[in-house]
Structure 1
Amino acid sequence: MSTTSSSEPKPGEAGYVNPRGIPQAPFIEAVEEYVRSRDQVESILQSFQEMLSKYKYMEMSTLRRAAGLREKIPDIQKTLDTVLFLDSKRDAEEPTMLTTFELNDTLYAKANVTASDSVYLWLGANVMLEYPIAEATDLLTAKLKAAQESLKLCEEDLEFLRENITTVEVNTARVYNWDVQKRREEKEAGERIK
């Protein structure tokens, strides 16, 4: 009894799609086999330009997402550190501490902070919720881990996209050069006939 396995394409094989759904650009091994006639050259070059535009759009989108994550990760880390610091002060002998905190970009205020069992966290969209310190720590740790993982995936996608952009550019150059060579050969053959 034979079984045929329909395995998915691996990186470098035709039809491969990375885990986030970005298709791999095919590399043209033999231009002569890929381009059957010179009539196809223009449509092939146009399809390469469309593919290149899509890859560049995905690259810009991924760069923006990565930049946002790089900006967000230090804020999450700073908030987590603050919650952990407040947690460490709960059992301290002096439950009140004097601190300076930022109200605005250039406006700071002094405050006496009393140790508490809960903290308030901004969730976004002008929403703030009260959390017990343990839950806040768990939430922030999970958010930090998720943001770091997303950044890692963005960086992998950027590398994958850059490789594919290079592949499409090389394919374009090879097809264009093949077309120039064929035109030159036809011109030389035409001159020999005269």
Structure 2
Amino acid sequence: MASQPVFAEEKNPRGIPKAPFVENIEAYLGGPDGSVEGPIQRFQDALAKYRYMDRSLTQRRASLEEKIPDIKKTLDMVELLRDRREGKEKASDEDDDLEDEEASTKTTTTFELNDTLYAEAELQDTDTVYLWLGANVMLSYKIPAAVTLLKSKLEAAEVSLSNTIEDLEFLREQITVMEVNTARVYNWDVKRRRERREETQRPVGGGNLD
């Protein structure tokens, strides 16, 4: 008899298969004499796959939860530079007699050199910023382009985090279902063995001794 599929055809939006709950164990095994070794092994293999995906997605979640605040901080800084620059241009247009000292006011800030070391810097009036894109790659962007890029990256990261959390919840439900399936098949086999053992030990009725 062909083995029963361990995964259902139904999947979640990211393609993770659902674990079907085995209601009728005897029918699933193919009858009262069905072997449990194969199904239990398939359940264990499925559990291993689910747990691997769970570990992978847990790491992804941690990475995104660390990455998103960094993107937000970078976006906030670039938007500050944009607003500061736009404010100066507007003031200059409204008042051509703006004093040079006021027009050249600089912004002082701190920036992170490493996890525990910060340095102070004076921000010059500029229309260009440099962004780290990962893998030791840094590119220059005009401020409007940088804002657009960072907003798109932030949105993508937040969607990815939401999907990852949803997938983790789905996975843990499937792990529970597969653990229950394994326990039920094992207990069904224990009960079957006990009943058969009792049948073989039951005394056969004898004739009348009178």
Task: Tell me the TM-score normalised to structure 2 length.
Answer: 0.82
Distance in 2 between residues matched to 1:119 and 1:112, nearest whole Å: 14
Farther off after superposition, 20-29 or 146-155: 20-29
State whether structure 2 residue 202 is matched by structure 1 residue 192. yes
- Residue identity matched to 2:82: D
Distance in 2 between residues matched to 1:145 and 1:43, nearest whole Å: 45
Q: 1:17 maps to what in 2?
A: 11
Q: 2:165 maps to what in 1?
A: 155
Residues 13-62 of structure 1: per-residue CA shift (max 9 Å, x gap): 94112222211111101112112244520111111000000000011011
CA contact (8 A) 2:112 2:119 kept: yes
Distance in 1 between residues matched to 2:50 and 2:126, nearest whole Å: 51
2:65 counterpart (59, 64, 70) = 70
For residue 23 of structure 1, give the secondary structure of its aligned residue in structure 2.
coil
State whether structure 2 residue 42 is matched by structure 1 residue 32. no
State whether structure 2 residue 58 is matched by structure 1 residue 60. no
Q: 2:127 maps to what in 1?
A: 117
Q: 1:173 maps to what in 2?
A: 183
State whether structure 2 residue 159 is matched by structure 1 residue 164. no
Distance in 1 between residues matched to 2:45 and 2:203, nearest whole Å: 39
Provide the alpha-carbon RMSD of the alignment. 1.6
- Residue identity matched to 1:89: R
Distance in 2 between residues matched to 1:94 and 1:176, nearest whole Å: 78
Question: What is the identity percentage for the equivalent residue pairs of Structure 1 and Structure 2?
Answer: 56
State whether structure 2 residue 74 is matched by structure 1 residue 79. yes
Q: 1:42 maps to what in 2?
A: 37
1:89 counterpart (84, 91, 100) = 84
| Runs of 5+ consecutive residues of structure 2 not aligned to the other structure | 1-6, 89-102, 205-210
Distance in 2 between residues matched to 1:24 and 1:39, nearest whole Å: 24
Q: 1:139 to 1:66 in 2, by over 3 A?
A: same
How far residue 95 of structure 1 moved from its aligned partner, in angstroms, is 4.1
- Residue identity matched to 2:12: N
Q: 1:42 to 1:94 in 2, by over 3 A?
A: same
| Runs of 5+ consecutive residues of structure 1 not aligned to the other structure | 1-12
Please identify the structure whose Cα radius of gyration is greater: 2
How far residue 191 of structure 1 moved from its aligned partner, in angstroms, is 1.1
For residue 103 of structure 1, give the secondary structure of its aligned residue in structure 2.
strand
Distance in 2 between residues matched to 1:83 and 1:96, nearest whole Å: 15
- Residue identity matched to 1:161: L
For residue 36 of structure 2, give the secondary structure of its aligned residue in structure 1.
helix
Aligned length: 182
